[in-house]
Structure 1
Amino acid sequence: MSKQRVVIFSGGELHPKYIQELQPGDFIIGADKGALFLIRHGIKPDLAVGDFDSISSQELEYVRSKAGKIVECDPIDKNLTDTELAFEMAIREQPEFILLIGGTGTRMDHTLANVQMLNRGLQHHISCAMMDRNNYITMTGSRLEVQDRGYKYVSLLPMTPEVTGITLEGFQYPLTNATLKIGESLGISNVLLSSIGLVSVEGGLLLVIQSND
């Protein structure tokens, strides 16, 4: 039986308020120091993964003693980042939804790689999102309900050379059968008019970012 949600805590920007995002029944994965963060806040991850080069040997022993299961890899001889390894394991759980927390931070290369991973979820017919204190990021190639999560803006960015047939309902600036190309800013800083807006896409992949300043 597939799981409803998998929540990954990675090693980027983390805050205690993110613990509130967890729901009963979530399968929880801690990637590298994300696992330590969870345990220190009273949450036992079902799975801890990574090379754990961001924590001390004593902290790693603590994680080993508290995690439900741990998968360790060599920090040099590996092809995946800790977050991607956690994401791959999340996909294996066949959930309906994957939420990545701690996937953004000071490393822009890691942040962009994590954003691109959202497409991996779509390829497996799994809805995915990333969040931090200022952003909630998801991706669609078909139809998406955008819920009011307390963010001020909703921006649309192409993830393929162009995205066609974009139609927006319930937004301050509607679109009908529009096309966005990479490098264009037409989709930046829209606003929801009610609790839910609808985004429809006919071709390509569209990044939907809810954000605050």
Structure 2
Amino acid sequence: MTSKRVFIYAGGEIDPISIKSIKQDDYIIGADRGALFLVDNGIKPHISVGDFDSVNAEEFARIQGFSDEILSCDAVNKDLTDTELAFDIAIEQQPTEIIMVGVSGSRLDHTLGNIHMLLRGLEQQISCFIWDRNNYITLTDSTHIVEDRGYTYASLLALSPEVTGINLEGFLYPLENATLKMGQSLGVSNRLVEAKGTIHIASGLLLVIQSKD
């Protein structure tokens, strides 16, 4: 399978450094005000989606003029958030990787909903990541390689009632055949001691959160 990445930019907390990771062959989706961020930084979205209730008429005109395609929906009569609309389009591209930027921030309900969206990617066998200034988040149900991205901590949290058979390599605090249950903090604030760390789990869903203050 040819490797294909999709970037989703939404209207939450955006790390401007993320645009340096965009490559020519990446598929770019702007969700609501995330589309404006892309336009303002000279990145042409393949498609911009949402109700666009967070931009004014002049900003929306700029988004329309700079995007290959626009998918606009009613701000009231819709069942999905702008980010989930974008995520559905991302999955349609059949990528190997989806990177979501601007999907976390002050709205905890939106942030948690977007973290839960990682499960949909996992079910489709797509590697999905959430990226902001202080966090890089993914979800695994098997083996995952954690790369040193300049974050201080690497925390592990159960997203299922329990995660079993956890083995860590390349971390300051190793685990061997450990079990984490939802609500436990055993896996919080670990650190990489090598350029890469390896996580193996036998069962369950494990959030992997690289973070810094």
Match of 2:107 in 1: 107
Task: Find the aligned partners of 2:83 and 2:9 in 1 and give their Cα distance.
Answer: 9
Match of 1:119 in 2: 119
Instruction: Please report how far the alpha carbon of residue 3 of structure 1 lies from its aligned counterpart in structure 2 after TM superposition.
Output: 5.6
Match of 1:133 in 2: 133
Equivalences for 1:1-213 in 2 at 5 Å? 4-213=4-213
For the residue of structure 2 that corresponds to 1:120, the secondary structure is helix
For the residue of structure 2 that corresponds to 1:149, the secondary structure is coil
CA deviation map 1:2-39 (0-9, x unaligned): 66100000010124322112122110000001001100
Task: Find the aligned partners of 2:193 and 2:132 in 1 and give their Cα distance.
Answer: 23
CA deviation map 1:146-187 (0-9, x unaligned): 000000110000001111111111111111111100110000
Task: Find the aligned partners of 1:23 and 1:151 in 2 and give their Cα distance.
Answer: 23
Q: Which runs of 4+ in 1 moved over 3 A?
A: none
Structure 2 residue runs of 5 or longer lacking an equivalent are none
RMSD: 1.1
Task: Find the aligned partners of 2:191 and 2:46 in 1 and give their Cα distance.
Answer: 37
Size of the aligned set, in residue pairs, is 213
> What percentage of residue pairs aligned between the two structures are identical?
55
Task: Find the aligned partners of 2:161 and 2:93 in 1 and give their Cα distance.
Answer: 31
CA deviation map 1:57-77 (0-9, x unaligned): 221121111101111111111
8 Å Cα contact 1:2/1:94 also seen in 2: no
Letter in 1 for 2:128: C
Structure 1 residue runs of 5 or longer lacking an equivalent are none
Task: Find the aligned partners of 1:173 and 1:79 in 2 and give their Cα distance.
Answer: 43
Task: Find the aligned partners of 2:24 and 2:131 in 1 and give their Cα distance.
Answer: 19
User: After alignment, is 185-194 or 15-24 more displaced?
Assistant: 15-24
Task: Find the aligned partners of 2:161 and 2:177 in 1 and give their Cα distance.
Answer: 17
